[in-house]
Amino acid sequence: MSETIATTLSKEIFHDAKRDLTVNSLVYTLGASYRDYLINSFRTTYTKSSPPSERPSQPSFDRIEDHILEQLKSASSSYSTSREKVLARDGYQCKVTRFWHQRSVAAVAELAQLVDESGYGSGEVQACHIVNEAIMQGVDRDSPETKKRAAAGFLRILDTFGLSEVKNDFLKENGIHSLKNLISLSNAIHPEFDDLCLWFEPTDTEHTYTV
């Protein structure tokens, strides 16, 4: 855990400790917030936490969410234009299994030769969103309040964790379809990634991760 994130969590716990809440309710409320606004942003299926037995007061960071809501822009669908770029960036291979993108292999003879030499085989490989596209796609002033709050809550957490540059990327039109938010994965791996059963841990080597 980075120092910025650890400091942020400590400050939030200290702030909430001043409120008239039991320890269990305090921990639940903070944990539920991160589950709803951060963890669920990486899932394909959204899971809403049950409400705590004690209703907490309005968190101070809601003002930040309100500010972010004012900046949200509707993102038009541009996944199709980003897909080919991501596949090319990733060498037409799944980043985990090294499986080759079958349609690209069929279209480019040189790739077919590489498949034979690599021994990994080919199959269905997709350009997959890291942060679920539904969290930001089509969010504007006319969106349902729950959708706007989910997007704002996610962006607020990025901001408080010192990831304002990442937050600003998502605020741009089509930002959810940015190449930074896409990765090539085989059909066998994609569901595991969406369910958070598979994730990437950074190593000391740049752009290298442990799965």
- pLDDT at site 20: 54
% residues pLDDT > 70 (the chain)? 66
Residue 33 placed within a domain: yes
Residue 149 placed within a domain: no
Within this chain, do residues 126 and 186 fall inside the same structural domain, yes or no? yes
- pLDDT at site 37: 66
Measured between alpha carbons, how far is 133 from 20 in angstroms, rounded to an integer?
Answer: 37
- pLDDT at site 58: 45
Residue 198 placed within a domain: yes
Within this chain, do residues 14 and 102 fall inside the same structural domain, yes or no? no
Residue 53 placed within a domain: no
Burial of 143 (C-beta count, 10 Å sphere; 0-12/13-18/19+): middle
- pLDDT at site 187: 93
Residue 42 placed within a domain: no
Residue 96 placed within a domain: yes
- On whether the CB atoms of residues 2 and 158 are closer than 8 A, the answer is no
Range of the domain at 122: 82-130+180-210
Say whether pLDDT at 98 is over 90: yes
Within this chain, do residues 25 and 92 fall inside the same structural domain, yes or no? no
Within this chain, do residues 114 and 193 fall inside the same structural domain, yes or no? yes
Within this chain, do residues 6 and 106 fall inside the same structural domain, yes or no? no
pLDDT digits (tens, 9 = 90+) for 30-86: 677 767 767 767 766 544 544 444 444 444 445 445 544 554 544 445 778 788 888
pLDDT digits (tens, 9 = 90+) for 164-195: 898 898 888 888 888 899 999 999 999 999 88
Within this chain, do residues 120 and 196 fall inside the same structural domain, yes or no? yes
Within this chain, do residues 19 and 97 fall inside the same structural domain, yes or no? no
Residue 9 placed within a domain: yes
- pLDDT at site 151: 86
Within this chain, do residues 24 and 91 fall inside the same structural domain, yes or no? no
Within this chain, do residues 26 and 89 fall inside the same structural domain, yes or no? no
**Domain total for the chain?**
2
Within this chain, do residues 17 and 94 fall inside the same structural domain, yes or no? no
SS3 100: strand
Please name the residues in contact with 127: beta carbons below 8 A apart, sequence gap of 6 or more.
79, 82, 83, 86, 87, 182, 183, 184
Mean pLDDT estimate for the chain: 76
pLDDT category of residue 129 using cuts at 50, 70 and 90:
very high
Looking at residue 169, its amino acid is D
**Helix (H) or strand (E) segment spanning residue 121:** none
Say whether pLDDT at 114 is over 80: yes
Q: For the ranges 107-111, 137-141, 166-170, which has the lowest average pLDDT?
A: 137-141
pTM of the model: 0.68
> Average pLDDT, stretch 118-123?
91
